[in-house]
Every structure is written in C-alpha cells, then in structure tokens.
C-alpha cells in the first residue's frame, strides 16, 4: 500500500528543500520538524526540483555522513550554523 504524503504550503516546501540541500542538516531534523522520513524527502525533491537539480542533489547526499544523525560526530545537535540566521 502506498504511503500518503502530506502536502505543504510553498513556504514549508521551500524550507524542506533548503534543509535537504544543507550539508549539515540531517534527514532526522527534517523528520522531526515536518514528519518526512528520508524516502519522503527524496520523493518531495524529485517532484519539486528540475531533473538535473534532483540528480545533482542525489549525488551530493548519497553516503554523506552529515545527512544522517547516526553517522555524525557525537555532540553535534544543531541543524544549522549558529551564525546562519543573524538578525
């Protein structure tokens, strides 16, 4: 049976795509914030990105240790750089 994926507004979809592109944001952070596991993020990225952009993204994240919390260095809990969102 196919899993039903929630629909998001444009702002949430944009943020999910941004998080998926970020090297330091693990898939687990996306799942905590938006309820999408890795396979659902892959489906969303395939649906929302141009084919060439999707292929480029997949090439970046395959086997990338920083995209999986279990493979990260212990003690790194943030999803973004502390200086990334300065006022």
Condensed to tens digits (0 to 9), the pLDDT of residues 7-51 reads 889 999 999 999 999 888 888 889 989 999 999 999 999 999 999
- Residue 71 pLDDT > 80: no
Q: How confident is the model at residue 73 (pLDDT cuts 50, 70, 90)?
A: low
Q: Is 72 exposed, middle or buried (0-12, 13-18, 19+ CB in 10 A)?
A: middle
pLDDT at 60: 87
What per-residue confidence (pLDDT) applies to 47? 93
């Amino acid at each position: 049976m196919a899993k039903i994926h929630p629909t998001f507004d444009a702002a949430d979809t944009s943020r999910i795509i941004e998080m998926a592109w970020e090297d330091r944001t693990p898939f687990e952070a996306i799942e905590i914030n938006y309820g999408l596991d890795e396979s659902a993020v892959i489906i969303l990225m395939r649906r929302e990105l141009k084919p060439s952009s999707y292929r480029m993204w997949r090439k970046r994240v395959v086997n990338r240790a920083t995209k999986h919390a279990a493979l990260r260095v212990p003690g790194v809990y943030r999803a973004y750089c502390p200086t990334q969102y300065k006022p």
